[in-house]
Amino acid sequence: MDVLEAIKGRRSIRAFKSQNVTAEIIKKLIDAARWAPSAGNIQPWEFVIVQKPEIKRALAEAALGQTFIEEAPIVIVVCANENRSSQGYGIRGKTLYCIQDTAAAIQNIHLVAYALGLGTCWVGAFREEEAREILKIPQGIRPVAIIPVGYSAESPSPPSRRPMNQIVHYETFEVETFP
């Protein structure tokens, strides 16, 4: 699939069929994630693959009751390894680079999932400490996103995007014109 087609066609999916997602597909998603760019190629990402219904349910609860998370056959929790990034880049590594790096990996998962005919949603609203306890995530590793993955049971319309002329600034921030 053309990359622009994937970028524009991907939607957040919040309803899933019960159809299973194979181990081979999960492998492809994680492989795509690990090819994301990262500061100094530190690759500060960790992935927890969740299939057990009781763990998915607990995650949905930690995510403020977003029950579609437990509907998905697979849930990937993407974590940032703050320790790895801070060893390379100190406080900037811990507070910024490891989040940017994992965000790039997360986007790769969304795009490749879409290209493989799957639906995903980037879930960022969750009680972090609760998710950490559920998944037994050690200190220094920060859960960044919960991604339910499955075959879509909905086809949402694309939400609007801010127009170019509002978001592009020419030469300095004051000038908002785009040809």
- Contact set with ligand FMN (CB under 6 A): 11-12, 14, 66, 121-125, 159
What strands lie across the sheet with 141-150, from one edge to the other?
45-50, 74-81, 141-150, 119-120
Shortest distance in whole angstroms from residue 125 CB to ligand FMN:
3
Task: Kindly state the helix (H) or strand (E) to which residue 111 belongs, with its residue range.
Answer: helix 98-115
Distance from C-alpha of 148 to C-alpha of 60, rounded to nearest angstrom: 10
Shortest distance in whole angstroms from residue 170 CB to ligand FMN:
26
User: Which SS3 state, helix, strand or coil, does residue 123 take?
Assistant: strand
Residue nearest to ligand FMN (CB): 124
Rg over CA atoms, the chain: 17
- 12 vs 83, beta carbon nearer ligand FMN: 12
Tokens coding 104 = 């790039």
Shortest distance in whole angstroms from residue 111 CB to ligand FMN:
11
- 87 vs 107, beta carbon nearer ligand FMN: 107
Shortest distance in whole angstroms from residue 142 CB to ligand FMN:
14
- 41 vs 161, beta carbon nearer ligand FMN: 161
User: Which SS3 state, helix, strand or coil, does residue 142 take?
Assistant: strand
- 155 vs 172, beta carbon nearer ligand FMN: 155
Among 64, 74, 83, which residue's Cα sits nearest to residue 25?
A: 74
Shortest distance in whole angstroms from residue 11 CB to ligand FMN:
4
- 42 vs 145, beta carbon nearer ligand FMN: 145
